[in-house]
């Protein structure tokens, strides 16, 4: 017995094919890639609180308005950390400059820098075991890369753990499985009650070099200079574009990516691509003259990299209408070749979504996986709103993540066409079904 929902969703096969054809073979082919290149080449990187982020928001407001969408800005307060000049040199056992990137929210060093002997450890456990050696030292973490989710704890909490045992600074091996002497930055969190010490990431190569030197019993001395500082919170905006629903305009399918990036590279992959396909999905639907029952709302978040700051304020401002949020979607793990849709929701909602992804047969992405994810949509998912994210061929994502390597060169126009098609089909069909997804 084929369920009613299966029959209803199957009725969208023609419109899904129209969307896919337009995105992959038609007039919109390569458009999301071109838009991303124009945007990132013009603006460059755009860290929370920066003038560049202000320019990026204005750019996207104007571009989406010109595209014929309903666009508005929603004010938020965001962190304003500034890197300043930074450098590190190994003094002993030989002179060598170290490539570093200070970590977000780190304090700076005194103007003359910090020169100290180094303690190299491979884990928090080893640090605990060797705590008596830590006072007055710069602690270097040379933890192996297991997975981003697991290993990122060293970036987030390394400074706090080292400070607790008396270290004067920390240098943390970049959270990446692959390196060509490239440091990777990111946010870090000082824990309550610890002295704030400067913290930066170093390259995999330099972390391993100092570990080998330490294994030989050589004395290592490093001088670290960082001009980092935190300024008062800045005014910013989440950027919102809509196609209003014809029948239930108050009900919303939300698509999103974040507009801010780190202050290195171009932020093309993280998360320019996610922002662009979330705009492109609306463009495709508008170009085909389609208008769903419910409102399609694209939100380009501000200050995701600081812990989903803009998105949390959006949630606080809109959660009073939580029962009207049908599905929240975020793309923040790259826009490489799409493999599947990841989904979090009730069993009944999953049954609906399993039918929806069948419509993606023309691009061979009919798989529905568990666990929709995204920093910016997690507050909604935690309170029971169904959530979806894009699973792409992301084995290379962390090679470039938060580094100077995050540029247009890692993006592929064909992959972005496919991501845009998937994003648009899923959003349109869910927004146009008779009923909202069951909670």
148 and 269 housed in the same domain: no
Instruction: Provide the residue range defining the domain that includes 128.
Output: 84-227
**433: Cα separation from own chain's centroid:** 30
Query: 285 with 401, same domain?
Result: yes
Omega before 93 within 30 of 0, i.e. cis:
yes
Q: Is residue 66 part of a domain?
A: yes
4: domain CATH number is: 3.40.630.10
Provide the 10 A C-beta neighbour count for residue 74. Answer: 16
Tell me the Cα Rg of the chain.
23
Flag whether 168 is in a domain: yes
How far are the Cα atoms of 69, 99, 206, 230, 375 from residue 162, in angstroms, in the given order? 50, 21, 19, 21, 27
Domain presence at residue 58: yes
Which of 159, 192, 227 is the last residue in one of the domains? 227
Whether residues 37 and 157 share a domain: the answer is: no
Beta strand residue intervals within 206-355, DSSP E? 221-226, 229-243, 248-258, 294-301, 325-330, 338-344
Residues 306 and 423 in one domain: yes
In this predicted structure, what is the pLDDT of residue 362?
98
pLDDT at residue 246 in the model: 98
pTM (2 decimals)?
A: 0.98
Considering the domain architecture, whether residues 131 and 267 belong to the same structural domain is answered as no
Residue 374 CB coordination number (10 Å) = 29
Where among 188, 203, 227 does a domain terminate? 227
Last residue of a domain, one of 227, 257, 280: 227
CA distance 45 to 264: 6
Are 315 and 353 in the same domain? yes
* 422 and 355 inside one domain: yes
Paired tokens of 312: 């949390």
Same domain, 245 and 321: yes
In a domain, 305, yes or no: yes
- Does 388 share its domain with 308? yes
In this structure, what token pair is assigned to residue 25? 């073979």
C-alpha span between 129 and 145 (Å, rounded): 21
Residues 287 and 307: their CA atoms lie apart, in Å, by: 35
Catalytic annotation present for 304: yes
Question: Does the residue 256 lie in any domain?
Answer: yes
C-beta contacts of 109-114 below 8 A and 24+ residues apart: 109/169, 109/198, 109/224, 109/225, 109/226, 111/225, 112/225, 113/223, 113/224, 113/225, 113/226, 114/138, 114/168, 114/169, 114/198, 114/223, 114/224, 114/225
> What total number of domains does the chain contain?
2
* In-domain check, residue 439: no
The answer to whether the CB of 439 falls within 8 A of the CB of 381 is no
Domain annotation covers residue 438: no
**Domain identity same for 127 and 73:** no
Same domain, 217 and 309: no
Half-sphere exposure of 356 (CA within 13 A, CB side): 27
Contacts of 64 (CB under 8 A, 6+ apart): 71, 239, 241, 279, 282, 298
Please identify which of the residues 280, 304, 305, 355 carries the catalytic annotation: 304
Q: Kindly give the residue spans of alpha helices, DSSP state H, lying in 117-194.
A: 124-129, 148-164
pLDDT < 70: residue spans in the chain: 1
What's the CATH code of the domain at 90?
Answer: 3.50.30.30
Residues in contact with 427: Cβ distance below 8 Å, sequence separation at least 6, in sequence order = 253, 255, 281, 285, 296, 327, 329
Q: Output the pLDDT for position 43.
A: 98
Same domain flag for 166 and 94: yes
In a domain, 437, yes or no: no
- pLDDT of 1 reads 65
Cα–Cα distance, 351 to 354 (Å, whole number): 5
d(CA 84, CA 96): 22
Q: What is the pLDDT of residues 212-260, one digit of tens each?
A: 999 999 999 999 999 999 999 999 999 999 999 999 999 999 999 999 9
Q: Which residues contact 405 (CB under 8 A, 6 or more apart)?
A: 182, 265, 399
């Amino acid at each position: 017995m084929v369920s009613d929902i299966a029959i209803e969703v199957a009725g969208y096969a023609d419109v899904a094919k129209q969307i896919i054809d337009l995105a992959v073979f038609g007039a919109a082919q390569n458009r999301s890639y071109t838009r991303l290149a124009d945007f990132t080449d013009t603006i460059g990187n755009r860290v929370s609180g920066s003038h560049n982020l202000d320019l990026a928001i204005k750019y996207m407001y104007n571009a989406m308005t010109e595209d014929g969408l309903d666009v508005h800005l929603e004010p938020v307060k965001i962190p304003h950390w500034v890197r300043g000049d930074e450098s590190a040199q190994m003094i002993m056992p030989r002179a060598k400059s170290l490539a570093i990137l200070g970590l977000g929210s780190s304090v700076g060093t005194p103007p003359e820098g910090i020169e100290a002997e180094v303690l190299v450890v491979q884990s928090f456990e080893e640090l605990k075991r060797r705590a008596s050696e830590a006072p007055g030292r710069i602690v270097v973490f040379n933890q192996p890369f297991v997975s981003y989710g697991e290993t990122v704890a060293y970036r987030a909490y390394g400074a706090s753990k080292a400070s607790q045992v008396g270290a004067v600074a920390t240098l943390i091996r970049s959270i990446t499985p692959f390196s060509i002497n490239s440091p990777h930055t990111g946010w870090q969190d000082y824990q309550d009650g610890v002295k704030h010490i400067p913290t930066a990431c170093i390259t995999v190569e330099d972390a391993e070099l100092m570990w080998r030197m330490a294994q030989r019993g050589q004395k290592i001395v490093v001088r670290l200079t960082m001009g980092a500082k935190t300024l008062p919170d800045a005014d910013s905006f989440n950027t919102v574009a809509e196609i209003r629903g014809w029948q239930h305009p108050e009900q919303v399918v939300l698509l999103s990516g974040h507009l801010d990036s780190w202050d290195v590279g171009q932020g093309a992959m993280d998360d320019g691509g996610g922002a662009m396909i979330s705009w492109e999905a609306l463009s495709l639907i508008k170009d085909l003259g389609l208008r769903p029952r419910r409102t399609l709302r694209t939100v380009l978040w501000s200050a995701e990299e600081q812990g989903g700051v803009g998105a949390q304020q959006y949630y606080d401002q809109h959660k009073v209408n939580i029962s009207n949020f049908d599905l929240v979607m975020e793309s923040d793990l790259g826009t490489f070749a799409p493999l599947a849709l990841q989904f979090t929701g009730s069993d009944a909602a999953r049954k609906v979504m399993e039918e929806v992804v069948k419509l993606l047969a023309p691009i061979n992405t009919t798989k529905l996986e568990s666990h929709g994810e995204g920093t910016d949509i997690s507050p909604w998912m935690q309170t029971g709103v169904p959530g979806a994210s894009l699973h792409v061929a992301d084995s290379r994502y962390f090679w470039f993540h938060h580094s100077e390597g995050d540029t247009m060169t890692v993006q592929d126009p064909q992959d972005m066409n496919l991501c845009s098609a998937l994003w648009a089909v899923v959003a349109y069909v869910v927004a146009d079904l008779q009923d909202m997804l069951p909670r």
